[in-house]
Amino acid sequence: MKKLFGYAAILATAYVATSQASATNLLGIDVSAAQGSINWTSVHGAGVEFAFAQATEGNYFQDSKFKSYMTNGKAAGVQMGAAHFARPDLNTPATEANYFWSFAGPYIKADGKSISPAVEFETFNGHVGASTYTAWFNAWAADVKAKTTNSMTPVIYVSSCAGACYLDTSIMLDGWIANYNGENLYTGNPWTSCLCNPWGPTVWDYWQVTSTGSIPGISGNVDLDAFNGTLAKLKSTEGVGGL
């Protein structure tokens, strides 16, 4: 997925080898067509329990690998979520929610294998159809949730040093925080620098730890993520339908 900034690289292999015994966070990844073909069985075997796959951007782009990633990731035992790269500067929340759901919706279901969708906030040139960025993303989430009778808890991807500073405490989405701060994926957290945190001190759900991780089954670099809790908690609090 797209990035705003870079910090020191942290390799997944080091985490898997040294940290799982004392883990408190859950290992995940986020991927797009840039990762090419993925062996999801190897990915899950390496300890990856969840993944976000890029689905759409704005109202003009659909990721060519999204459908195969969602299908094959679930088949391998990975909890899969769909991600939308928002362009609040170009479109209303409803326009982008409709576009996202028309493409990704069939893969977001209460099947015990789907986690709630994510929206990426990385452009800061305005918020069409809403008074603030927070209002725009709250409306996007509400529109997406209205597409299904299954319960969902959408999340917003933001940099702790950028996007989070444009949000306020009325944000209704869970937080997926990008901060490449050198903290250990399994035992650390994103709130050690750049402290624009509208959710409150130390609060986070997901954390993007690095963009240069290494995972068996994926050629080249991949984003590494953490979930703040266990697999059971991920399924119950972030799973579509609360599964």
Instruction: For residue 129, give every residue at least 6 positions away whose Cβ sits within 8 Å of its Cβ, in sequence order, or none.
Output: 91, 92, 93, 94, 136, 139
Q: Are 47 and 27 in contact (CB under 8 A)?
A: yes
Average pLDDT of the residues of the chain: 91
Q: What is the pLDDT of residue 8?
A: 31
Q: Three-state DSSP class for 134?
A: helix
Q: What is the pLDDT of residues 8-45, one digit of tens each?
A: 333 344 444 334 445 699 999 999 999 999 999 999 99
Q: What is the pLDDT of residues 49-104, one digit of tens each?
A: 999 999 999 999 999 999 999 999 999 999 999 999 999 999 999 999 999 999 99
Q: Three-state DSSP class for 175?
A: strand
What's the N-to-C CA distance of the chain in angstroms?
27
Domains and CATH numbers, the chain: 12-242 (3.20.20.80)
pTM for this structure?
A: 0.91
